[in-house]
Amino acid sequence: MREIVLKEEAQPSESVIYCGEGAFEEKLPAAVEKYPQKFIFTDTTVWNLWGERIKEVLGDIPVFAMPAGEEHKTEETLFALLKAMAAAQLHRTSCLIMIGGGVVGDVGGLAAALYMRGIACFQVPTTLLAQVDSSVGGKTAIDFYGVKNLVGAFNQPRAVFADPCFFETLPPREVRCGIGEMVKHGALSADLFEKLTARSSELAALSVPVDLIADNIAFKASVVAQDAKESGLRKSLNLGHTTAHALELALKTKSHGECVLLGTIFEAEMAKCEADCDREYLNELIALCKEVLGGIPALPNASEWTKLALLDKKNTAKDAVVITAPLRRGTYRLISLPFEDYAKRAEEIENKLC
């Protein structure tokens, strides 16, 4: 098992991430033992699959299970959880244990930050995406007023327990979703990119080695440690995401990670036209994305989805789109494109791909 310590440069506190078999059953009980009151937050899917095992590991403690799904990442769910925590008479010496995917981590982390102005929280990510990405870095939020992640806070969990045991019940699509974020990390780290390309056949077969999971967690933790509040370096983690978010809104049938792979392909192609770059490397990155995707799916006409990129939070001017584009191994750049240019490039790339 690997232990990764996330210590923010500007904060005295630290978060420990345990990655490997036994993280859940061996490390978690010892970590929460000192807290007089414990409370589990999960979702109905995870509880139905893992509820008995969770009770064996943690004992008979209060549980609140939200309905599963992004559509429930709302103020109603947040306040239902806070009400359940209050009914259980939790105090500042209590802890919240979040067991689930990214939605559970987002809502639970925000609830822990708000309850009595902050109580300790621990995270057990049960999806590959949550393990390599959303559980690392302390971002918490709910969707509000029709805007994704509009209300939130930065709240690092005391510890994260990334155990591959939960992948036993993970659907193939969810595995590919997590691999999408791993490839994004590889586009930002030359060392990680080499490791991913060397084992691309395993990733394409949706077999994810535990050591690669740990390497991805360590990479993201290193970025967060330098820029926890996303004022500089952490923005690099948006690589491929401008186009990915637009495609995610338009397609609806593809997971976030699959759209990240597509977004990385589009933005790598755009980089070839808009910046001084290593074209051979970008072709390798695009090939890796295609291999993991298993091919390019049918896409709506670019004229339909490119407008959605205008809503992206990274944009800094009206009628312009900012992409976080890969350039060379371990190198990226923020590129601002007039919307007409972005839409034209996207249509050209789509015609080439499809």
Identify which of 102, 106, 111 has the alpha carbon closest to the alpha carbon of residue 39: 111
Partnered with residue 337 across adjacent β-strands are 321
pLDDT at 13: 72
Q: Tell me which of 100-114, 156-170, 205-219, 241-255 is least confident.
A: 241-255
- Token readout for 277 is 């770059």
Q: Which fold has domain 2-169?
A: Rossmann fold (3.40.50)
The secondary structure element, H or E, covering residue 264 is: helix 256-274
* Active-site residue identified among 25, 202, 230, 347: 230
Name the residue ranges covered by the structural domains of the chain: 2-169, 172-353
* Active-site residue identified among 73, 176, 184, 256: 256
- Choice between 305 and 235, residue whose per-residue pLDDT is larger: 305
For 110, 191, 194, 216, the CA distances from 43, given in Å and listed in that order, are 16, 36, 36, 25
Q: How far apart are the first and last CA of the chain?
A: 43
Domains 2-169 and 172-353 agree in fold: no
Determine the 3-state secondary structure of 344 from DSSP.
helix
The secondary structure element, H or E, covering residue 147 is: strand 147-154
85-131 residue pLDDT tens: 999 999 999 999 999 999 999 999 999 999 999 999 999 999 999 99
Class of domain 172-353: mainly alpha
Instruction: Answer yes or no: is pLDDT of 12 > 70.
Output: no
Are 310 and 294 in contact by the 8 Å Cβ rule? The answer is no
pLDDT at 149: 86
Instruction: Answer yes or no: is pLDDT of 10 > 70.
Output: no
The verdict on whether 220 is a catalytic residue reads yes
* Active-site residue identified among 38, 238, 254, 274: 238
- CA–CA dist 105, 101 (Å, integer): 6
Are 121 and 171 in contact by the 8 Å Cβ rule? The answer is no
Tokens 């995870």 locate to 46
- ∠ CA 77-71-306, rounded to 5°: 140
The verdict on whether 241 is a catalytic residue reads yes
* Active-site residue identified among 139, 254, 329, 345: 139
* Active-site residue identified among 38, 73, 174, 181: 181
* Active-site residue identified among 9, 56, 117, 318: 117
The verdict on whether 181 is a catalytic residue reads yes
Average pLDDT score over the chain: 94
84-97 residue pLDDT tens: 999 999 999 999 99
For 117, 152, 175, the CA distances from 179, given in Å and listed in that order, are 36, 26, 6
Identify which of 202, 233, 308, 228 has the alpha carbon closest to the alpha carbon of residue 263: 308
Instruction: Answer yes or no: is pLDDT of 180 > 70.
Output: yes
Cα 341 to the chain's mean position, in Å? 29
Q: Provide mean pLDDT across the span 201-217.
A: 95
pLDDT at 108: 98
Identify which of 205, 160, 122 has the alpha carbon closest to the alpha carbon of residue 20: 160
pLDDT band at residue 17 using 50, 70 and 90 as cut-offs: very high
The DSSP output letter for 347 is H
Residue type at 36 in one-letter notation: P
* Active-site residue identified among 245, 254, 329, 345: 245
The verdict on whether 117 is a catalytic residue reads yes
- Token readout for 237 is 């983690």
Residue type at 83 in one-letter notation: K
Identify which of 270, 292, 290, 291 has the alpha carbon closest to the alpha carbon of residue 279: 270
The DSSP output letter for 296 is P
Tokens 């259980």 locate to 88
Determine the 3-state secondary structure of 164 from DSSP.
helix
* Active-site residue identified among 241, 254, 329, 345: 241
The DSSP output letter for 297 is P
pLDDT band at residue 39 using 50, 70 and 90 as cut-offs: very high
* Active-site residue identified among 220, 254, 329, 345: 220
pLDDT at 314: 83
* Active-site residue identified among 234, 254, 329, 345: 234
Cα 153 to the chain's mean position, in Å? 16
